[in-house]
């Protein structure tokens, strides 16, 4: 089983197919021609090959089977017994944090009648779901914000099975932090026969001395660092979450990082765990999850078989900070053994390698940085532009054509972390700091480290105005958002 994630830089030494030195002239040559050769002009032969390799990676159209699954969701302030029974004043979907888990099957249509009973306007964004642009939940860009007391109906048929989530796209650094998020699971048309399908929603909370959500958002400190990192880490709203399984069980464990800023690196090395999906999408083949950086917005699905007998609870740690591991949850294996289920891993998706992707001229390099100014004193910028809230009409920073192959680059000119999220499309990581990385999966969010450059490739499939933003929600709120326009033909 290949190991991919040995961040920081050890990863690239192991995964790169080309030695670093042989790659450098190529990277320089590409950099020199960037801008002179856009895909719409005479496309290099690598583009045609990349497009052929993309065929069949995922469906271009939804295939509704006629079944509509209807849910009501209400957002309102409430109190929940959270963080081990402590009464926490939150904003919640249907009175729960995490919010309700919506579970449908591929082909079914999701219809959510959403009512806003918050003291602020809001929307629901369906993170990772390829859906019609009008259902994407971005205020002013795809819909008017839902005012207090109003109702809005979201209806769409997901094109992909997988682990997705939903949250507000208005003042998200406050609204998500206060507890507004939930999981959307789209099951395969024929789900693999795992003995159970478990979900860990990871969040961290910044609580004040009274044990309540500190009601100061977008502080200078948050903005000058990697957003708002909390002092209480929860899984499914608890600091003492325990997953109980029986010996021999083979389960699917889905993880979501719903934190505003904190990155976690869950350590499952004591178990027989395989990574089978990232950001909802199955891998080309299962791989070792060791070192995967689960940034805000990211999801991973694990395939775990509990062969061993464990007398004591097994703690699962977050080791993003190697000096300060955080206990996420415990796993307890107990009871009567069951016969392990032997079935083929569902991780056998067609994921293009795009080995020539780095030879395709860069279509655009986004520069990520910060400067003084703006309503919070610090602005986070993409190409020196700060997105001034959602209250204005915005011109797209970049226009892409449906069905074309693009190589894009993020150049982090700052020292902070930026998990960059694209709405409405998946992309594949091609390189970090110019060194090829063959991740056998698509993503919708990639963590860009301080001073790092990251190359991605994508084929936009859905027309519309799609957001691209940092998923550290304080960075996004302070400007690190923009729009990509995907046009037909
Ligand atoms: Cu950021």
pLDDT in tens, 70-79: 999 999 999 9
The Cα 178–Cα 201 span in angstroms is 15
Q: How far is the CA of 303 from the centre of ligand 1 (A)?
A: 31
- Domain covering 196-333 assigned CATH 2.60.40.420 in the classification: yes
Q: How far is the CA of 252 from the centre of ligand 1 (A)?
A: 31
Q: Are 360 and 50 in contact (CB under 8 A)?
A: yes
What's the pLDDT at 390? 56
Calculate what percentage of the chain has a pLDDT beyond 90. 84
Confidence bin at 45 (pLDDT 50/70/90): very high
**Domain boundaries 16-59+352-487, CATH class:** mainly beta
Q: How far is the CA of 226 from the centre of ligand 1 (A)?
A: 7
The mean pLDDT of 380-396, rounded to a whole number, is 81
Calculate what percentage of the chain has a pLDDT beyond 70. 90
Confidence bin at 396 (pLDDT 50/70/90): confident
Q: How far is the CA of 475 from the centre of ligand 1 (A)?
A: 5
The Cα 14–Cα 437 span in angstroms is 9
Q: Are 351 and 440 in contact (CB under 8 A)?
A: yes
pLDDT of 22 strictly over 60: no
pLDDT of 154 strictly over 90: yes
pLDDT of 36 strictly over 60: no
- Apex 432 CA angle, 429 and 435, nearest 5: 105
Q: Which string of b and e fits 79-118 if b means at least 16 CB within 10 Å?
A: ebebbeeeebbbbbbeebbbbbebebbbbbbbbbebbbeb
The mean pLDDT of 230-251, rounded to a whole number, is 94
Q: How far is the CA of 20 from the centre of ligand 1 (A)?
A: 28
Q: Sign of torsion, CA 265 269 272 275?
A: positive
Closest to 352 in 3D by CA, of 302, 407, 390: 407
Looking at domain 68-187, its CATH superfamily turns out to be: Cupredoxins -  blue copper proteins (2.60.40.420)
Q: Which helix (H) or strand (E) holds 235?
A: strand 232-235
The mean pLDDT of 101-120, rounded to a whole number, is 98
Terminal Cα distance for the chain, rounded: 40
Q: How far is the CA of 106 from the centre of ligand 1 (A)?
A: 33
Round the average pLDDT of the chain to a whole number and report it.
90
What's the pLDDT at 40? 52
The Cα 470–Cα 474 span in angstroms is 9
Q: Are 453 and 411 in contact (CB under 8 A)?
A: yes
Q: Are 230 and 208 in contact (CB under 8 A)?
A: no
Q: Which helix (H) or strand (E) holds 26?
A: helix 20-33
Q: Are 45 and 405 in contact (CB under 8 A)?
A: no
Lowest mean pLDDT among 207-211, 256-260, 368-372: 207-211
pLDDT of 212 strictly over 90: yes
pLDDT of 24 strictly over 80: no
Distance (Å) of CA 346 to CA 115, 209, 362, 444, 449: 37, 46, 33, 20, 31
Q: Are 289 and 300 in contact (CB under 8 A)?
A: yes
Q: Are 57 and 349 in contact (CB under 8 A)?
A: yes
What's the pLDDT at 269? 94
Give the other-Cβ count within 10 Å of 387's Cβ.
22
Q: Are 370 and 380 in contact (CB under 8 A)?
A: yes
Given strand 125-127, what is the order of strands in its sheet?
102-105, 182-187, 162-167, 125-127
Q: How far is the CA of 449 from the centre of ligand 1 (A)?
A: 9
Q: How far is the CA of 131 from the centre of ligand 1 (A)?
A: 25
Which residue(s) pair with 233 in the sheet?
204
Phi/psi for 367 (5° steps) reads -95, 125
pLDDT digits (tens, 9 = 90+) for 265-315: 999 999 999 999 999 999 999 999 999 999 999 999 999 999 877 778 999
Q: How far is the CA of 385 from the centre of ligand 1 (A)?
A: 14
The Cα 297–Cα 264 span in angstroms is 11
What's the pLDDT at 403? 96
Confidence bin at 489 (pLDDT 50/70/90): confident
- Please identify every residue whose CB atom is under 5 Å from ligand 1, which is an ion: 418, 470, 472, 475
What's the pLDDT at 245? 95
Domain with CATH 2.60.40.420 in the chain: 16-59+352-487, 68-187, 196-333
Q: Which helix (H) or strand (E) holds 76?
A: strand 68-82
pLDDT of 219 strictly over 50: yes
Q: How far is the CA of 180 from the centre of ligand 1 (A)?
A: 20
Predicted TM-score (pTM) of this structure: 0.91
pLDDT of 31 strictly over 70: no
pLDDT digits (tens, 9 = 90+) for 124-138: 999 999 999 999 999
Q: How far is the CA of 206 from the centre of ligand 1 (A)?
A: 18
């Amino acid at each position: 089983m290949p190991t991919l994630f040995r961040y920081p830089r050890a990863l690239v030494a192991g995964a790169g197919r080309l030695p670093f030195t042989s790659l450098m002239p190529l990277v320089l040559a590409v950099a020199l021609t960037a801008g002179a050769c856009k895909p719409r002009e005479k496309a290099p032969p690598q583009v045609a090959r990349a497009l052929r390799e993309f065929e069949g990676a995922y469906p271009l159209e939804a295939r509704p089977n006629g079944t509509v699954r209807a849910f009501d969701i209400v957002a309102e302030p409430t109190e929940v017994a959270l963080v081990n029974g402590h009464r926490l004043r939150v904003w919640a979907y249907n009175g729960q944090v995490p919010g309700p888990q919506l579970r449908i099957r591929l082909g079914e249509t999701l219809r959510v009648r959403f009512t806003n009973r918050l003291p602020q306007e809001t929307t629901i964004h369906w993170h990772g779901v390829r859906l019609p642009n009008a259902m994407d939940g971005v205020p002013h860009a795809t819909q008017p914000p839902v005012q207090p007391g109003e109702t809005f109906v979201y209806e769409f048929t997901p094109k992909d099975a997988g682990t997705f989530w939903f949250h507000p796209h208005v003042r998200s650094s406050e609204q998500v932090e206060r507890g507004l998020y939930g999981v959307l699971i789209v099951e395969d048309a024929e789900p693999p026969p795992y003995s159970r399908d478990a979900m860990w929603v990871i969040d961290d909370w910044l609580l004040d001395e009274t044990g309540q959500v500190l009601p100061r958002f977008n502080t200078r400190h948050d903005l000058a660092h990697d957003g708002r990192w909390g002092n209480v880490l929860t899984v499914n709203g608890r600091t003492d979450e325990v997953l109980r399984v029986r010996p021999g069980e083979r389960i699917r464990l889905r993880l979501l990082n719903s934190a505003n800023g904190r990155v976690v690196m869950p350590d499952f090395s004591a178990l027989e765990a395989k990574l089978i999906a990232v950001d909802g999408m199955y891998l080309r083949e299962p791989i070792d999850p060791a070192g995967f950086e689960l940034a805000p917005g990211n999801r991973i699905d694990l395939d775990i078989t509990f062969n061993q007998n464990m007398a004591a609870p097994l703690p699962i740690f977050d080791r993003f900070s190697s000096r300060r591991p955080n206990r996420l949850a415990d796993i307890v294996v107990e009871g009567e053994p069951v016969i392990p289920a032997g079935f083929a891993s569902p991780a056998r998706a067609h994921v293009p390698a795009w080995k020539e992707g780095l030879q395709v001229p860069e279509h655009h390099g986004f520069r990520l940085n910060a400067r003084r100014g703006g309503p919070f004193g610090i602005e986070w910028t993409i190409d020196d532009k700060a997105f001034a809230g959602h209250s204005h009409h915005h011109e797209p920073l970049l226009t892409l054509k449906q069905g074309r192959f693009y190589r894009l680059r993020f150049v982090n000119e700052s020292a902070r972390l930026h998990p960059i999220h694209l709405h409405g499309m998946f992309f594949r990581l091609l390189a970090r700091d110019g060194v090829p990385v063959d991740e056998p999966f698509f993503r919708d969010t990639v963590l860009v480290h301080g001073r790092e450059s990251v190359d991605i490739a994508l084929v936009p499939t859905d027309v519309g105005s799609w957001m691209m933003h940092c998923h550290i929600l304080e960075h996004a709120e302070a400007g690190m958002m923009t729009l990509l326009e995907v046009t037909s033909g």
